[in-house]
Chains A and B, each alone.
Chain A
Amino acid sequence: MIELIVNVIVLVLMPFLYVGIINRVKSFWAGRKGPSVLQPFYDFAKMMKKGEVISTTTSFIFRITPSLLLASTLSAALVTPIIRHKSILGFDGDFIFFIYMLGLGKFFSVLSAMDTGSSFEGMGATREVTFSSFIEPAFLIILSSLCLITGYTRFDDIFPQLTGNPDIVTLIAGLSVLVIFAMILVEGCRVPVDDPNTHLELTMIHEVMILDNSGPDLAFIQYASSAKMVILASLIPNLIIARGTSLLTWIILYLIIITVSAILIGLIESLMARLRLIHLPQFIFLLSSVSLVVLAAIIVYTYSFGGSL
């Protein structure tokens, strides 16, 4: 019960902090004084107080999308394990529900971009759907490989089985962390996939899709996209922290790992430029190959060493 309450608190607050930390790291690296870690929260509060400007071209889709995006992201969060491998609402096969809920949000945000009739937003829409289409299979290969080795079919059963086991399982968990981290970069639209700070519409992916959103709508969308990063990042501590760790240690370790992942993203954004669009597929194919390596490793492990958990 306590875990569930902590989960809800983390889910509500962490999205603000996560982006805040990334931005703070970037400013620190660049030698700027930089915004406070809480700046995303102030932005959110301010946007919630404003009115809106809505394009005359748009239809009801543009109006429902922000709320729908937020609801679908939070529904995905319901099945995500956060503290002590526990999710709020786990069921068998919940990782498929997770992926398809994120897909629903994508479907509507893409349509909302097309709704404005702007060619910039169309461009962003096609990039978003094209590049993320290679991520879902990679994620599902990883998850079903983990299913294979643990014998379970839901997030909060799979993850506790992985920790404190033989070396090869640790290796597999490590590779999975790599894929999930890269997934945050793609789904969260961070460098090297997309640069949230770019100011040329032609080069954007995510930002260009929400050019016409303003006020509370924009607040919803921003919150949903940082929540998406947080729920993906939450999978990492669940792959690493051992089963049976006490609640307090869990929370501290969780916060440390999440913060480290945010700092890493900030460092990557400070040190790298975004990839050229034509090189993006190579980056994303790399993820699928890593996930296939995981699959192969697990099959070999299960059969050559007779291992299972």
Chain B
Amino acid sequence: MELFLYAIILYLFTGIIQAFIPGKIRSVLMVIGAGVSSTLLTLLSSHVLLSGNTKMALLQFPFPWREITVAIDPLSAFFILVIAVISFLAVLYSIGYLKPYYEKKEVSGTHLFFMNLLIVSMLLVTTIQNGLTFLVVWEIMSLSSFFLVFFEHEKKEVFNAAIQYLVAMHIGVIFLIAAFVLLYIHTGSLAFSALERFFNQNPQASSLVFIFFFIGFGTKAGFIPFHVWLPEAHPAAPAHISGIMSALMIKTGIYGILRVISFTHNPPPGLGYFVLGISLVSALLGILYASVQKDIKRFLAYSSIENIGIIGLGIGTGMLGLSFYNYSMAFLGFGGALFHLLNHSIFKSLLFFSSGSIYAKLHHKNMERMGGLIHSMPYTAVFTLIGSAAICALPPFNGFSSEFLLYFSMIKGIHVPGALVKTASILSIAGLSFVGATALIAFTRMYGITFLGVPRENLSIHENENISTHNKKADDSNKAMLTVMGILAAFALGLGLFPKLGFKLMKHPLRVLMMYDEAPNTPFPDFLGKISFSLFLFLGMFLFFFLLRKLILNNREVKTYKTWDCAYQKATARMQYTASSYSRIFALLFKPFLKLDFSIHSSTELFPSHWKLETHFRDVFDRYIISPVTHSIKNSVKWFSWIQRGSTQQYILYGLLFLLAAIMWILGTS
């Protein structure tokens, strides 16, 4: 337990100290601080994860906190492990990413301080058990990430995104506060552990509390329709921050949901269907929107929504398993959810880091202007390829192992008696496979357009450069960034080939979630071993065929020639397939969900030389639900603007009136 406190103090200490240290030592200090505390946390959490013992500490604080229970049970330890490892890699990456900014002396101490504060607050969120303190730490997390999104605040879109993020977070917090207040009214306690009694005594009211918790935490996690902030905030933040936010911070929302579930013995099936439904919608629409984005980080943000949906599918299936007393379904559902959470942290941070490397090189995020990066950034290209294959849940990478568990939990659901749960399971299987297939479209599009082909940039309309004669000089990112991406890619491959190792970590957290205490005679999935065997067989065959091909071609003539251009001699880089055209057929099939904005800026000259056409796909939720609502709220609050005139005297009057009312209230009740 002390290790945890030391690690937190060290993070805060380096966060503050670095602001006063100039030059190179500053980044070294950041890395050492993060490295040491991550090691401590990894030791601590893996000890808890492997032994299954909960570590607890009772801290005494003055009013209003009094006692704060800090507990690291296996569920918290699992999140601490993920946060410790990924945040260290993010700090290491930030050193490389911020290098040009360091040189221009544009990195303020506050930015790095808030980064450490965000990591600390995430760690605290996963350990604190008291409702009030939890909310405070939760708020620190939201605020510190808000300041991090603000990094390039001079840009208008960054400013707007950050404000939108701040507002969305506070709407989420309102639901959390409401949930805690309801909990307090019914049980007289604000601790999470009071939920257990509450769920047993009052199933109806507790369902409402569960939904409030789900909305509050789901806003952080980015479930549709609470996702609107996510595709704005992620692209606005610098790459290392988007990596932390997408890989770790939105997962604290999932942590909250799981923490609430861990106190329910058998939730009503309705809640399971509710979570399953929302998750399915999030996954489907998330990847649908992702497949039409042009901004690479926006694309990744929507894909995060999809993956949160997939994790939610596991949680929903797990809850249904608990409701129907089918423990192997619950085990595999929650196990798949946790495993996918771990995997998503790995490949999504990898992909955000690689988008950062692209941004550092090209200084824009528009996929339509990229192309051919595989030749100039060979290592980044390989790592991104691994990340993309992993996120499409393709074997032999880690996404496959977790989605396989999810599928299997749903297959278990097929065998549960009850027509509804059977149908729901089969439709979830179909939904998940459609999400996978759409992810394949989205990620082949992203990879194919940005990394393959030839660069589309810097080519004027009249330039007839042949697509085959471009410059192929390598100019990859710096070593710190590549190392981090390489480590993450190795994780993705390793957990894919040895899913059993990853699943071992899930054993005790699952015990907490499903509330069984005796030695687990768990239905440990024995197919995981068979899967790794088949995957090795696959790799063996691949190597065999590849070497065979090499051997065959060894003494033969292998000519290089330009790409087949249908006998048209003057194909240019501009004639390559574009991101918009790649997703066009697919997008047309889903017209009702994708609003296409179409604007033509025509010139009024007599002999027009330049016309401009802009197309954007809009999020229907943003467009038809969120925007009208916020708009009408904005209009209606105008009626109350007379309250806030800006004159101090008036405000003092309000304060006095409030005090008077309060005194009268107390006198009246006592």
Binding site for B on A (CB under 8 A): 48, 50-59, 61, 64, 66-68, 70-72, 74-75, 78-79, 89, 91-93, 96-97, 99-101, 103-104, 106-107, 110-111, 113-123, 125-127, 129-130, 132-134, 136-141, 144-145, 147-148, 151, 153, 201, 211-212, 215-217, 220, 277, 281, 295, 299, 302-303
Contact status B452-A126, CB under 8 Å = no
For A62, give the chain B residue with the smallest CB separation.
B452
* B59 touches A (CB below 8 Å): no
Q: Encode B526-569 as 1/0 by CB contact (under 8 A) with A.
A: 11001101100111011011101100110011111111111000
The answer for the CA separation of A57 and B287 in the assembled complex, in Å, is 30
The answer for the CA separation of A217 and B559 in the assembled complex, in Å, is 14
Contact of A136 among B434, B564, B565 (CB under 8 A): B434
The answer for the CA separation of A50 and B562 in the assembled complex, in Å, is 19
- Known interface pairs A71-B541, A118-B565, A137-B430; 14 further A-B residue pairs with C-beta atoms within 8 A, sorted by A's residue number: A55-B564, A57-B470, A59-B381, A70-B545, A89-B534, A92-B408, A104-B395, A107-B394, A116-B563, A122-B448, A125-B582, A130-B441, A137-B434, A144-B410
Contact status B426-A57, CB under 8 Å = no
Q: Which residues of B contact A295 (CB under 8 A)?
A: 423, 426
Contact status A91-B374, CB under 8 Å = no
The answer for the CA separation of A91 and B534 in the assembled complex, in Å, is 10
B residues 401-447 with Cβ under 8 Å of A?
404, 407-408, 410-411, 414-415, 419, 422-423, 425-426, 429-431, 433-434, 436-438, 440-441, 443-445, 447
The answer for the CA separation of A66 and B392 in the assembled complex, in Å, is 20
Q: Contacts A100-B394, A137-B430 known; A114 to B449 CB distance under 8 Å?
A: yes
Question: Chain A's interface: helix, strand, loop or mixed, by majority?
Answer: helix
Q: Which residues of A contact B404 (CB under 8 A)?
A: 93, 96-97, 100
Q: Which residues of B contact A78 (CB under 8 A)?
A: 534, 537
The answer for the CA separation of A223 and B565 in the assembled complex, in Å, is 25
Looking at the assembled complex, report how far the CB atom of A165 sits from the nearest CB atom of chain B, in whole angstroms: 18
The answer for the CA separation of A178 and B436 in the assembled complex, in Å, is 24
Looking at the assembled complex, report how far the CB atom of A95 sits from the nearest CB atom of chain B, in whole angstroms: 9
The answer for the CA separation of A127 and B581 in the assembled complex, in Å, is 11
- The CB with the most chain A CB atoms within 10 A, among B527, B538, B556, B566, is that of B538
Q: Which residues of A contact B426 (CB under 8 A)?
A: 141, 144-145, 148, 295
Q: Contacts A61-B452, A103-B437 known; A75 to B534 CB distance under 8 Å?
A: yes
Contact status A54-B561, CB under 8 Å = yes
Q: Which residues of A contact B544 (CB under 8 A)?
A: 71
The list of the 10 closest CB pairs from A to B, nearest first, reads: A122-B577, A114-B448, A117-B453, A133-B437, A67-B545, A51-B556, A71-B542, A91-B530, A71-B541, A51-B557
Q: Contacts A51-B556, A54-B558, A75-B537 known; A129 to B531 CB distance under 8 Å?
A: no
Contact status B440-A56, CB under 8 Å = no
Q: Encode B326-367 as 1/0 by CB contact (under 8 A) with A.
A: 000000000000000000000000000000000000000000
Q: Contacts A110-B444, A114-B452 known; A122 to B549 CB distance under 8 Å?
A: no
The answer for the CA separation of A216 and B585 in the assembled complex, in Å, is 33
Looking at the assembled complex, report how far the CB atom of A86 sits from the nearest CB atom of chain B, in whole angstroms: 16
Q: Contacts A48-B552, A54-B560 known; A119 to B577 CB distance under 8 Å?
A: yes
Contact status A215-B553, CB under 8 Å = yes
* B589 touches A (CB below 8 Å): yes
Contact status B440-A133, CB under 8 Å = yes
For B587, give the chain A residue with the smallest CB separation.
A130
Contact of A107 among B389, B419, B552 (CB under 8 A): B389
* B400 touches A (CB below 8 Å): yes
The answer for the CA separation of A144 and B531 in the assembled complex, in Å, is 19
* B483 touches A (CB below 8 Å): no
* B65 touches A (CB below 8 Å): no
Contact status B467-A57, CB under 8 Å = yes
* B478 touches A (CB below 8 Å): no
The answer for the CA separation of A71 and B566 in the assembled complex, in Å, is 31
Q: Which residues of B contact A79 (CB under 8 A)?
A: 534
Contact status B545-A93, CB under 8 Å = no
Contact status A101-B538, CB under 8 Å = yes
Q: Contacts A74-B541, A78-B537, A137-B437 known; A111 to B447 CB distance under 8 Å?
A: yes
Looking at the assembled complex, report how far the CB atom of A218 sits from the nearest CB atom of chain B, in whole angstroms: 11
Looking at the assembled complex, report how far the CB atom of A51 sits from the nearest CB atom of chain B, in whole angstroms: 4
